[in-house]
């Protein structure tokens, strides 16, 4: 717990945020720090040193506006050791990152390619890690906004029978994306970013006719797109944007056995070197251990 005093307009706090590229939420005598691992560690180190100075009766030095401050040896070592396994430290101090070699390769591909296709069964983290990468890049100010999209395809249920307007009808399809965001950011912060348009969670149809610049864009459940929808989505990509497309080609809910836009894209785009393709499998499942057994049983039944 850090006990720290800011002036009435929190100018010192704003300087710290700018210096270390993090978000600070002071609450009483506690400070919540949100940001990528390396930046949060630097901010923690600065605040601890500042607090130590106040105990000696000296006012803490204000952080400089440049970003060339050297890390203490112990902190540099910690950051280097954690870089492969921690992408983000959440507001409640939970470390999030890859748990398998496949997931590690997935995140490395996202770091190196502007457009990535991630294929795999449920529980492999393909959606969660894409959202994690998006939040990390947004907090690092590498993108201006996050756009999360899903095709609103009926999986054995009829949208028309659901209550409410169109937005309320499709919200159940978007719920997993909200759940991932709320794991990484405080609920009120997520609501604020959605209200301001910095985070957009929407059905795929809402992407038509737009050009998406300086954004991290995720298309989830892409196996439920048609080839026409996939082409529409891929041609929305604007300057400075990054795209991750996730799906499971074995779980298509398209009516009348229509050809999946994801399967079609994998077939015709695989030779484009600027694109990244990642396949996750049962060894990457990080849900409850029973999920692995269930998937194995279904796979055995179909072979």
| Domains of the chain: residue spans and CATH | 11-82 (no CATH), 98-302 (3.40.50.300)
pLDDT at position 187:
87
Q: 3-class SS at 216? A: strand
Average pLDDT of the residues in 152-181: 60
Average pLDDT of the residues in 115-143: 92
Helix and strand numbers, DSSP H then E, in the chain:
10, 10
Q: Compare 172 and 178 and report the one with higher pLDDT.
A: 178
What is the DSSP annotation of 209-253?
T--B-SEEEEE-SGGGS-HHHHHHHHTTB-TT-EEEEEE-TT---
User: How would residue 222 be classed by pLDDT, with cut points 50, 70 and 90?
Assistant: very high
**282: Cα within 13 Å, side-chain hemisphere:** 11
The answer on pLDDT for 66 being more than 70 is: no
What sign results for the dihedral spanned by CA atoms 111, 115, 119, 123? positive
pLDDT at position 7:
46
User: Across the strands, what pairs with 200?
Assistant: 147
What is the DSSP annotation of 91-127?
TTS-EE---SHHHHHHHHHHHH-SEEEEE--TTS-HH
The answer on pLDDT for 164 being more than 70 is: no
pLDDT at position 54:
58
The answer on pLDDT for 59 being more than 80 is: no
Q: Is 164 left (phi over 0), alpha (psi -120 to 50) or beta?
A: left
User: How would residue 28 be classed by pLDDT, with cut points 50, 70 and 90?
Assistant: low
Instruction: Please give the span between the terminal C-alpha atoms of the chain, in angstroms, as a whole number.
Output: 56
Average pLDDT over the chain reads 78
Q: What percent of the chain has pLDDT over 70?
A: 74
Give tens-digit pLDDT for 79-89: 333 445 778 87
**Distance separating alpha carbons of residues 55 and 60, to the nearest angstrom:** 10
User: How would residue 104 be classed by pLDDT, with cut points 50, 70 and 90?
Assistant: very high
CA neighbor of 2 nearest in space, from 56, 45, 62: 45
pLDDT at position 171:
60
**Distance separating alpha carbons of residues 220 and 151, to the nearest angstrom:** 8
Q: How, if at all, do strands 88-89 and 275-279 pair?
A: unpaired
Q: How, if at all, do strands 95-96 and 199-203 pair?
A: unpaired
Give tens-digit pLDDT for 263-273: 999 999 999 99
């Amino acid at each position: 717990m850090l006990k720290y005093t800011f002036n009435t307009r929190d100018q010192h706090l704003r300087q710290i945020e700018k210096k270390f590229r993090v978000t600070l939420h002071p609450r009483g005598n506690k400070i919540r720090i949100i940001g990528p691992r390396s930046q949060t560690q630097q901010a923690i180190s600065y605040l601890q040193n500042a607090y130590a100075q106040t105990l000696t009766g000296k006012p803490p030095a204000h952080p400089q506006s440049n970003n060339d401050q050297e890390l203490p040896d112990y902190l540099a070592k910690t950051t280097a050791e954690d870089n492969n396994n921690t992408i983000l430290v959440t507001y409640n101090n939970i470390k999030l990152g890859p748990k398998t070699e496949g997931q590690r390769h997935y995140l490395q591909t996202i770091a190196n390619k502007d457009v990535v296709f991630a294929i795999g069964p449920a529980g492999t983290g393909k959606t969660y890690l894409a959202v994690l990468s998006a939040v990390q890049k947004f907090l690092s100010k590498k993108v201006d906004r996050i756009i999360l999209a899903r095709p609103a395809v009926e999986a054995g249920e009829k949208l028309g029978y659901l209550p409410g307007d169109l937005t309320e009808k499709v919200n159940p399809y978007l719920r997993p994306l909200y759940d991932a965001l709320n794991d990484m950011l405080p609920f009120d912060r997520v609501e604020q970013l959605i209200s301001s348009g910095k985070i957009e969670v929407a059905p795929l149809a809402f992407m038509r006719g737009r050009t998406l610049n300086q954004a991290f864009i995720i298309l989830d459940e892409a196996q439920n797109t048609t080839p026409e929808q996939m082409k529409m989505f891929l041609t929305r990509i604007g300057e400075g944007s990054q795209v991750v497309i996730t799906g499971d080609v074995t779980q298509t809910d398209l009516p009348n056995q229509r050809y999946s836009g994801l399967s079609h894209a994998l077939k015709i785009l695989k030779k484009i070197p600027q694109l990244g393709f990642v396949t996750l499998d049962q060894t990457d499942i990080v849900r409850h251990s029973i999920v692995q057994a269930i998937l194995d049983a279904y796979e055995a039944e179909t072979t």
